Structure 1
Amino acid sequence: MAFLTLGSAHPISSNLFSPKNVSPSFSLELEVKNLDEVNVTHKNVLLRLDLNLPMSNGEVIDSTRIIRSLSTINELLQKQAKIIILSHFGRPKGKINLAYTLKPIAEHLQQFVECPVVFAPDCVGDEVKRIITDAPQASIIVLENLRFHEGEEKNDAAFAKELSSLGQIYINDAFSCTHRAHASVAAICEQLPSYAGRALEQELTALQSVLKTPKKPVMAIVGGSKISTKIELLQNLLPRVDYLVIGGGMANTFLAAQAVEVGQSLCEDDYIPTAQEILMDAETHDCEIVLPIDVVVTATIAPNVESKTVSIDKIAPTQKVVDIGPKSLSRINHFMDQCQTLVWNGPVGVFEIEPFDLGSVGLAHHIAALTKAKKLISVAGGGDTLAALAKADVEKDLSYTSTAGGAFLEWLEGKKLPGVVALQRGK
């Protein structure tokens, strides 16, 4: 069994999340077999990808996940394998709904490969088997949306067995799906010899390398709207980082927990006691929680509305907090300058609307500059975080960015991911 090792193309230090004074709640040893351990030549290979891509007017608007899987696809094609792609798209809830067909995405995939790409109108059944049989070696067959069948999301063993009958080898190259115990991610590993694809391998090695003993000090930036969705993340980070920056709407709940009036801002009053507990736990773990000291406020959240920057003790009853202020940004950057490792999940303001993106974009620029200067090892993940990096035009300047949303978050929370566990336990 091979251990995943970090390649030179990803200069990420090892061991980001080893606790400072507690044992980790999850195993850091990732014994997952990779493509070096299997002969795929002239084999029918079931390749699980995440082709749940952003679409607009029937056109793909972000091909990142395809691009990241091209290393696996091209390696299989070079060995004359017949690639049978499994994926889901949207939430058709176990029923055929052509609004969620993978056909336009299969057609989009053709732009990235030189081999034939065939689309199958289902993912199981005799017609699918015929299409696969008729396809030449070194070709790609994209199967229709797995979620047109109830068995997919139920992790049904019988459905997984039907899928497995289409190939001889199973490869998972969709880290963003590994937090789902679905048939094409988990149950199928009990049916076929199972391996990690190159993109999944890259993601696991990168994250494993930042989940042990980091170059210290360590900073985590956690943003987003609600503390209720990130309690486990915050609790898991406290013993593992030196600075925990909290931004976005969730920072308002922490400010309220310190008797700061936040006006009409998003604030989860029911979670104020939780925020107070986290603040106390941070002291126990010698973790400095960094909250805004000044904020951008407005009466209405919309483009081109009147806004101003105020200190946190000057938020009016009619105002809403929409971003961190320049003093807060400067303070975070000052602490960041002292760190050697950083992980970021969630923007610190309503970055989708200008000018409320200045805080998130400012952080992105500073992280990128430190990373390029080899002063900081930086890892970021989550859809909104990547969008903020793209807005700052620095998404390629960090040490590693994860396209996985839920899987990345659950990993940081210390949870075991069903898709990774299945690969470890599979045939």
Structure 2
Amino acid sequence: MKVMQEAPVEGKTVLMRTDYNVPLSEGQVTDASRIEMSLPTITYLIARDAKVVLLSHLGRPDGKVVEHLRLDPIASQLSELLDQPVKKFPDCIGEEVRHGVAALQSRQVAILENLRFHPEEGANDRSFAAQLAKLGEIFINDAFASLHRSHASLVGISEFLPSYAGLLMQKEIESLARLLKDPERPYIAIIGGKKARSKLSTLHELINKVDAILVGGGVAFTFLRAQGYAVGDSIIDETLLDDTRMLIKKAEEKGVSIFLPLDIAMAQAATAKAETAIYQVDDIPAGWIGLDIGPKTITAFAKEIKAARTIVWTGPMGMFEIPQFSVGTRGIADALAQTSAFSVVGGGETGEALTRLGVADIPSYISTGGGACLSLLRGRSLLALEVLRR
């Protein structure tokens, strides 16, 4: 992989792809961690008199302008963090943008408008990529969280500009490499979140690498149902039950232990005011929804975490947005705090949960990417990474 330290960036106009797909509320950034993690690359470029032009997407505008998905709040947050003005352009291509970028001075930072306002971005359109490339002389990809996307600003642009990995990208790849190449054992995976389908495909690969798997979050109910348990009104994916049984059998054959919840924190509605109760998994009543792992499960999972030497965690243990259902996620974080094992949290929702709970400093590393992290753990070849190796 070509790294930015090899690039002749001094005095050049550098296009830097970031992933500033951050949560907003009333036009304000509510979690700036992704922005903060891009700062070392930006300040490296500023220190070398580069003109820094940032590219990012935000949300899913489906190829059209959506006013509340403009990047103005991102520009304001960057200005504050960098302690210097950040110029925001009204588009990412076009004559006005070209003239504006050409007028930038050394050490100035600017950000283009949301790339996904153009359908050509998601289509990896060659002409669109060429228009972006004309704005700069060197391309730096620091958008690890988008690495699994074959978009114009991630893949196509590299056809037209010398391309390098930014400092965050390098750090992400190096951290995940420790999970893929001779990890210290025992090596366990903690799997949670809502998306059973994506987690199952990851588990089919992880089963060849890990010694044990702890399953929580919404994913656990598909596993429990596949094992014959009633799960009330908890969300399951009926189409995945056979695949889940196959996975459990495959794990048994390989000697990989799969730990499912022993008890569940449940409610009759997914709201903060709903009546809640803890039920054992063999006693779940009809009409109740599972929203977090219970105390016995936290204790059992903590025991496995304590014995581990390498840990990967992707997906929260419950609906952490509601305080009474954040207990399981906090319990796992507290268990990580008690171990010296190397631990990586696969970003996205899990990283957001730990930040919200004030425990984001506990894991060895929190990846900015959920989907990208899972794709690499599955051993997938990612085009946006391959172009940095050419």
What band does the TM-score fall into relative to the shorter chain? over 0.9
**Structure 2 unpaired stretches of 5+:** none
The equivalent of 1:415 in structure 2 is 380
The equivalent of 2:9 in structure 1 is 40
Q: Are the equivalent residues in 2 in contact too, given 1:224–1:250 (CA < 8 A)? A: yes
Identify which of 351, 362, 366 aligns with 1:401.
366
Please tell me whether residue 181 in structure 1 is matched to residue 150 in structure 2: yes
Q: Are the equivalent residues in 2 in contact too, given 1:115–1:138 (CA < 8 A)? A: no
Identify which of 332, 336, 341 aligns with 2:305.
336
Q: Are the equivalent residues in 2 in contact too, given 1:361–1:391 (CA < 8 A)? A: no
CA pair 346-78 structure 1, distance change in 2 beyond 3 A? same
Q: Are the equivalent residues in 1 in contact too, given 2:306–2:335 (CA < 8 A)? A: no
Q: Are the equivalent residues in 2 in contact too, given 1:160–1:184 (CA < 8 A)? A: yes
The equivalent of 1:210 in structure 2 is 179
Please tell me whether residue 255 in structure 1 is matched to residue 220 in structure 2: no
Q: Deviation string for 1:312-336 (max 9, x for gaps)? A: 2111223322222211111111111
Ranked by relative contact order (alpha carbons within 8 Å, sequence separation 6 or more), the top structure is 1
**Structure 1 unpaired stretches of 5+:** 1-31
CA pair 97-326 structure 1, distance change in 2 beyond 3 A? closer
Aligned pair count reads 390
Q: Are the equivalent residues in 1 in contact too, given 2:124–2:155 (CA < 8 A)? A: yes
CA pair 259-168 structure 1, distance change in 2 beyond 3 A? same
The equivalent of 1:139 in structure 2 is 108
Secondary structure in structure 1 of the residue aligned to 2:149: coil
TM normalised by structure 2 equals 0.95
Please tell me whether residue 228 in structure 1 is matched to residue 197 in structure 2: yes
CA pair 93-305 structure 1, distance change in 2 beyond 3 A? closer
1:288 deviates by 0.1
1:162 deviates by 1.1
Q: Extract structure 1 runs of 4+ deviating beyond 4 A.
A: none
CA pair 130-264 structure 1, distance change in 2 beyond 3 A? closer
1:184 deviates by 0.7
Task: Quote the Cα distance in structure 2 between the aligned partners of 1:240 and 1:224.
Answer: 21
1:67 deviates by 1.1
CA pair 417-353 structure 1, distance change in 2 beyond 3 A? same
Please tell me whether residue 90 in structure 1 is matched to residue 55 in structure 2: no
The equivalent of 1:246 in structure 2 is 215
The equivalent of 1:152 in structure 2 is 121
Q: Are the equivalent residues in 1 in contact too, given 2:187–2:308 (CA < 8 A)? A: yes
Please tell me whether residue 390 in structure 1 is matched to residue 355 in structure 2: yes
Task: Quote the Cα distance in structure 1 between the aligned partners of 2:322 and 2:336.
Answer: 21
Q: Which amino acid aligns with 2:344?
A: V
1:52 deviates by 2.2
Please tell me whether residue 348 in structure 1 is matched to residue 313 in structure 2: no
Q: Which amino acid aligns with 2:320?
A: F
Secondary structure in structure 1 of the residue aligned to 2:223: helix
CA pair 68-285 structure 1, distance change in 2 beyond 3 A? same
Q: Which amino acid aligns with 1:378?
A: S
Paired residues for 1:107-126 under 5 Å: 107-126=76-95
Please tell me whether residue 306 in structure 1 is matched to residue 275 in structure 2: yes
Q: Are the equivalent residues in 2 in contact too, given 1:252–1:265 (CA < 8 A)? A: yes
**Cα root mean square deviation, aligned:** 1.6
The equivalent of 1:59 in structure 2 is 28
Task: Quote the Cα distance in structure 1 between the aligned partners of 2:61 and 2:194.
Answer: 27
Identify which of 331, 334, 346 aligns with 1:365.
334
Task: Quote the Cα distance in structure 1 between the aligned partners of 2:230 and 2:243.
Answer: 18
Task: Quote the Cα distance in structure 2 between the aligned partners of 1:82 and 1:54.
Answer: 27
